[in-house]
Structure 1
Amino acid sequence: KSTILETFLNVPFFGIAIYHNTYLYANPYFCKLLGYTLEELKKLAIWEIFYYEEDKEKIKKTVEKRLKGEYFFKSYLPITLKTKEGKKIDTFIFTGTIFYQNRHCGFIIGIDITELKKLQKFLNLLRETNQILIHCSFEEEIYKNILPIVWETLELKAAWINDKKGKILYCYPKDFKPSKNLIFTITRKKPYFQNINSYSLCIIPLIKNENTKAFLNLLSSEKDYFSQDILSLTIELQENLNFAFKKLNLIEKDLTLGKLAEKMEELLIIADKKGKIEYINPAGEKILGLEKEKLLKKNCFKLLFIPEEIIKLEENTTRFVTYHKPDKVKVILELKISFIKLPSKTKVIIIGTDLTKKLEFEKERETLLYQDPLTGLLNKSGFIKRCSDFLNFFKTPFILILIDLYNFSYINRFYGYKVGNFCLQELAKKLQSVLKDKEFLGRTEGDEFCLFITNITKEAIYEWIKVLENILNEPISYKDKKISLEWNMGIVAFPQDGNTVDELWEKVNLALRSAKNEGPFTIEIYNPEIEEKIKKPLETELLIKKALKEDLFVFYYQPYFETETLKLAGLEALVRIKRNNELILPNEFIKVLENSSYLLKFNFLCFERNIKKIKEWKIPISINISSQSFKSLDFFELLNHFKEILSQYPYFLELEITEHTLIENIEITKDIIKNIKSFKIKISLDDFGTGFSSLNYLKDFPIDTIKIDISFIKDLVKDIKTYYIVENLINLCRSLNIKVIAEGVETEKQFRFLKKLKCDYVQGHFLSKPLSEEEVKTLLKL
């Protein structure tokens, strides 16, 4: 059986040691605590088991006194010992002097308080962190303030916070950079301990709104520093931080709601069930025209005319009230009244929207929505709405007259948009001036006006046409300029042509389209045949679309020759559509093409193909240009696109225009031709003699060539007057240095007469029919 002494020496919770110059005895617990065997301890100086140098110096002095025989007791509460591995052990040590083995010795009893001290550090940390958390208002503030306290209190190597991706958000000390093997992102939501080499790491997930937001990392230089004994304390630290995040979340919500209430433009009142105002926002003060101090003394139900019945029912509702401010300004309010039932009372929430400006805005919006800003007339939406409103109340006969300004972009291009806008405004005034009550006018497109004329007979329609013709044909004066407009007109009648606005609008546009297909200054009154009439143009337009998409446009070239030598002088490009094995001639589609939206694409294709042939064949080629193309805004952009290659082949490209194109607006036409010739392009006047021919054209315009129309050539050999006209025309052109081409030469006799008259060039089937590209190549080889 063990003796009392043996039992005492083998107690497993305190260490006992006896020393003289070296350690003479140490019980098993003392050896285990320091990690030494008894033999190893006997080789150490007494003070070598102490961690700090200042403690070692104290111990040396105490040992000297004891070995000299001084009897005294001394305690060290606490003192840090050093294990064989260099680890720190916090202990309570009690020492005394004893007589052992016939000499004075020192006696040591020690208790390990490392875990106790560690627990104390964590308790201190919890107290300090709680104080910090109480005063923090922002998440970042918590992070920045908590890390230094954690680091200092627990005597750590470092502390940091990283996000779920491992990115370091905050670190203390600031110059510490955690290595990759120290960064963990765990899925568990409880604190987690990990030994990494000689370090000990505690990872505490930070939870916000039930999701892990980040990780607090505590790094100790001591292995096993974080033990199961302090797990509950780390959980408590985690709960405190998580609670702080919840508190911050509520604070953020309160601040957000507070700021929202302060900044919202609507009135916001929080009141009790008696109508006493507990809160009103700044917008509410402004809307009601009273200061907060005065409003808090008022009953909000009486102030805003809210009946008691609504309050008693406690049902959410909406009311519209008219409120008069102290300055007598009337305000229309939409009040949304809600009730929030709390355990002991009910709060009344009133949100009021000032509808006064909104109603004014609606009026302005309707003006913007339905009014044309340039002329002040109804726009298309406004015009159709007005027509619909009329039909809803009246069934009296009326007509719609839709007027389109033909090629109005031509005026914008050469006079500028300011002048174009002036023309539209002046025309709007003139049209408006002839309208009576219940009649109205709209600008339904950029260059389109529509009139609504009521109480009208069929005979009166023609009277209106005359009135409108007079207005449209009268030039508009702008400074020193007289600007003439071209136009088309479509007319539809109610109820003969339709019973709804949509039906009438569709048919008046069909009538206008039919008129536009016939050229400017054309009027179409709707009739059922129009739909059949425009069916063919619609089919032709689809053919044109297909030809562009599938590359069906082909060019044939009719040569013209020098009359004296019959040497090839140039080619006239003539377009065709090749569908399967059929060649569709231009008289089948050219008119529709010139009035369609595909004209620009076709012009580009025409120029591209024929300039390519000029480059390939090195021979002049002439292209027929429509009036619409000639005046188009895009025409000069097209020429600019090919400017470089045109400069390489000067005057090889010739543009053929008609007399009609010249006379549309002589002043503008001069400018256009001047600009065209700046690209080193020749101008040819086609079909000369078929229109209102004037010798002034030859004087006023820089024309390079005229083409005598086929009608003159046919009569040349059988009518002496025609002969003399052609003779004098050729002589005049020669004097003016203008070349002459006789087109439509069909017989040898016609050719001989033209040769006798010294006509410069001849063209016609007598000499050559239009040729395909392959046939032109063969001709060039001859």
Structure 2
Amino acid sequence: MLTITLILYGNVLHKNLGVCIKNKYINFLAFLYLYNILSNEKRKFDEFCRINNKGGNAMKSIRTQILIYLVIGTIVLAGVVFFLSELKLNELPDHIKAQYSEIVNARSDEVSKELKSFVEQITIISKSPIVRSMDLEKIKEYLPHLLLDQKYRNMTIAYPDGSAWSTVIDEFNISEQEQYRKIFIENKEYTISQPFRSPYIHESDEPIVIVAHSVVNDNDEVMGLVNVVVKIDFLNQVVKEMSLKGTGYGWIVNREGLVVAHPDPKASLEKNIKDYISSDSKTLDEILDAESGTLEYIDKSGERMLAFFSRIKGSPDWTFIVSVSENEIYKEINGVKNTILGSIIIALILLVLFGVYYSSSLSRPILELKEVFEKAANGNLSVKANEQVSNELGAAAKSFNIMLERIKHLTYKDVTTGLYNYNGFLLEIPHKINNLISKGDVISIAIISIDDFKRINSIYGYDVGDEVLHEFSKRLYNFVNTKELVARFLGDEFVLLLYGDDILTIEKKVRSLWRLCSGVIKIRNNEFILNTSIGASIMGGNVTSIEETINQATIAKLVVKKMGGHNYKFYNYELDEFVKEEQEMEKALYHAIENQELKLVYQPIIDVNTNEIVEVEALLRWTSPVYGSVSPLVLIQIAEQSGFIYEIGEWVLREACNQNKQWQEEGYPPVVVSVNVSALQFDQPNFVEMVNKILEDIDMDPSYLELEITETNAMDRVDEKLEKMESLKSMGVRISIDDFGTGYSSLAYFTRFPIDTLKIDRSFINDMLNDENAKTIVTTIINLAKTIKIKIIAEGVETVEQLEYLKQKGCDKIQGYYFSRPVAPDLIREMLKEDSKLTPES
């Protein structure tokens, strides 16, 4: 089959080789013919295999497939290469013609630049003061001393009457010469004459060209001309210096066909273009009239020639011509074509022979690699491909092994901590559990979470947060032994598999883990005091699922979080009841607004110096028919985790503003109503718009509304919070920072915040008379506020001693049970009566 194919392929190429230049599509037809032959041969082979019941097994052999497709692909590729080569080779004549055209244009430009330089030089001479004076005596002294190129023979000065003087002839008349007519009669500024032989100097019969320029006075009147006589030999040098292969040569003719320059010096001004080109006058006129082009002609010896011509710019209608034998041009093309054809045939034979060998050597490692791929695809990521194969398959095997390792790492390892991720934990834990169960050990799964970790990310950035997690993970990794397991669970949470001889041992281990992870971590010269919450569950009894055990540990951890965090707890069924009860409270809260179970009470805020009420803080209360009076902390916690905080927060804000507006309309002294804003509520994108709409609906002056934002909330995403605060301030709303001093805020931020008030947390007020640290904090905050001109409110004032100390330190306002508990709106009315001042509660 291969032999027949090669013979047919050779016949097709041989038959079409002679006409490939004239018809570009012959080789395409030959390629289609070859493809048809190969297709028929392939079908015959398949039919043979089918009849002999061997086709199925034969074509399943990778060696047979590689051999067949290599041979077919090689032959087809060779045909395509030859076909594309023919297309490109057919373009070669045009490329070669373009090259010769570029040569002609370049030489034409060279002559043009030379003539231009003559004109520029004679122009400079014509404008010299001596020449413009037209004083012959001065000119006779000036012109002979000019330094002229060897191309120049002499210079001449002439007057309008035709009288002239030359550097080689004393006096003569030029009125019959071309330059006289061009300058004095046709008023040309300059002119380049056709070449001619001088009628005055007979010693040299060499043709010359005259470059002349008019001489004008200050009134632009032509007073004479000056010209330079140039030897025509410089043009002969241009055409002689051309390096053309074989019989090629260059020459110059003028508009009448007269030869101006030629490699044969005797041809100048003696020969005509018709003496060299056997063609009709119409064709010759095309050369002499056109700017550039190509002409095929037969010279006097009968040889076919190609003439490439280009008009010389700035010349007296001269044309530069390059004549080259057509045989010499196409001899190179034919040589290239024969070389390519021979190379393709030799390469075809070698590639077919190589395919036989290569199909055998290549199939074995491919089959081995295929087996490795199949195992990996079935989930076995421990396989390893053979990297010892000394070709691309070895490199592919190496790349596969690297890829598999990266897949394993990305699939089962956490990038930040280097521990297993949750997928890796689930993959490894069955093996660990089986080994521990066989030894009768008690098994536990613990979930550990860093309390309020987002604060670190918000204040110090995620890079520092990742470093904290990495350092934290080291403690966990060093805590477990080889039989145990630790992995990153979600975000700032980690999951651990622990074991012990009994439940008491497990409890001690969890307690040790909690103590180890709760403490100081130093990162980049910063100390971070970490609090952690741990939920744990014992595997055993009715629990057989790993996922169920992890879920129970998660529930225990959530309960710890809800109880304030920084503790540990083991799962028990009471926790299930706790979670269920919480879910029931969420349902009850859902209907609290529509059932009018929520209400606001107000606690006065007193001016320290006057004892007058200047503000009231609106506080939310919920009295449920099922749960009774619900703690505000529990209420807010349930509202935030259920998402009801948005609806409740808007209700509180509208109700408080509405109540304050009502007091004002009833004639009571106006006060500021202060409303606490949840972190989730403040993070709403439309929070500012919501506040503005409520104020517009109620028609309340924004200056009588103060929004309380906790210090921790303010320090999360500072730039975003700052933008919202500035928007609220531009509306006229007052801003207060609540619980100040309990966070870890940078004081630098508070110089940027547009706040009106700082509220000192009640915990510092309670301890300040007994604890020097608390007293220092209170004093520092008051002094800080005075420095940056911000008012201070002390929360939780309950004794006269506290009041006196705060008054002494310059505190502006106080709030607490010493004056009043949170009360209903009607009691606030009584307190707001004119000239009434609050007295301490008994």
Q: TM-score normalized by structure 1?
A: 0.48
Of structures 1 and 2, the one scoring higher in RCO (CA 8 A, sep 6+) is 2
Please identify which structure carries the higher helix content. 2
TM-score normalised to structure 2 length: 0.45
